[in-house]
Amino acid sequence: MSKTGLTLKAELRKTTGSSAALKVREQNAVPAVIYGPELKENLYIAVAANEFEKIFQSVGTHKPFTIQIGKDSYNVLVKGIEIHPLSRKILHVDFYAYSAKKSFITEVPLKFVGTPVGVKEGGSMFVYARKLKISTTIDRLPEAVEIDVSQLRAKDYLIVRDVKIDGVKILTHEGTTLVEVR
C-alpha cells in the first residue's frame, strides 16, 4: 500500500494507438501506461477519468498511490500527464511503478516560509523556481522542500547550492537562482 492509502482501479487495454485511445476516451476513461524498473513490460491501461481527476487533485505528481488491476496492484507516481490545450481534458497519463529499493528521478515543489527582512523593509521577493528535480528513494521522497527565506535582506538571493536535503540528490543545476529579494 502506498503512503497516501489511495487506490485507483484500472483495466488493461487490449489495443494501443490513437484510434484505441480515442475509443477509451469516448467511454469517459483516460488511456494510460504503467512502467518501471521491476516491470518486465509496460502495462497499457484505462482509468476512469473522474476517479483519476479526484486522486490527481490530492496527490499531484509527487505523492505515491496504488493502481489496482484485477488482483494485481502497483504503487505508482504520476510521471507525465497530457492535457488537451483547449478543452483541458486529460488525454493520457504515464504512471511510474517505483521500486522501494532503487532511486528514481522526480520533481518536488518548493515551499518558501517566512517573510524576508528585505520585504519588511519595503523590498520585494521574486521567486524564480517552484520545483526541484531530485533523485531519491520512495521512503525519502519529501512532499515539499521548505526553504526559510526570513533572513534574506535586500539584494540577497538563494541558489540551489544553498539547499540541503538528507538522503536526496538534487539534480537541478546548483547555480539556479530560487528566490531573490530586491
Write out the DSSP string of 74-143. Answer: EEEEEEEEEE-TTT--EEEEEEEE--SSS-EEEEEEEEEES--HHHHTT--EEE--SEEEEEE-GGG--S
CATH class of the 7-97 domain in this structure:
mainly beta
User: What whole-number percentage of the chain has pLDDT above 90?
Assistant: 76
Are 76 and 65 in contact by the 8 Å Cβ rule? The answer is yes
Q: Mean pLDDT, to the nearest integer, of 3-24? A: 87
Q: Kindly state the cell numbers that stand for 123.
A: 523590498
Encode pLDDT of 162-172 as tens digits. Answer: 999 988 999 99
Encode pLDDT of 128-161 as tens digits. Answer: 999 999 999 988 989 899 999 999 999 999 999 9
Give the model's confidence band at 53: pLDDT under 50 very low, under 70 low, under 90 confident, else very high: very high
DSSP H or E segment with residue 93: strand 90-97
State the pTM of this model. Answer: 0.81
Q: Mean pLDDT, to the nearest integer, of 68-89? A: 93
Give the model's confidence band at 179: pLDDT under 50 very low, under 70 low, under 90 confident, else very high: very high
DSSP H or E segment with residue 132: strand 131-136
Give the model's confidence band at 60: pLDDT under 50 very low, under 70 low, under 90 confident, else very high: confident
Residues 6+ apart with CB under 8 A from 120: none
Distance CA 134, CA 131 (A): 9
Please report, for the chain, the start and end positions of each structural domain, with discontinuous segments joined by +. 7-97, 104-181
Asked if the model's pLDDT at residue 1 lies above 60, the reply is: no
Task: Tell me the CB-side half-sphere exposure of residue 106, using CA atoms within 13 A.
Answer: 30
CATH of domain 104-181: 2.170.120.20
What does pLDDT average to over the chain?
Answer: 92
Are 100 and 29 in contact by the 8 Å Cβ rule? The answer is no
Read off φ and ψ for residue 23, nearest 5 degrees.
-65, -40
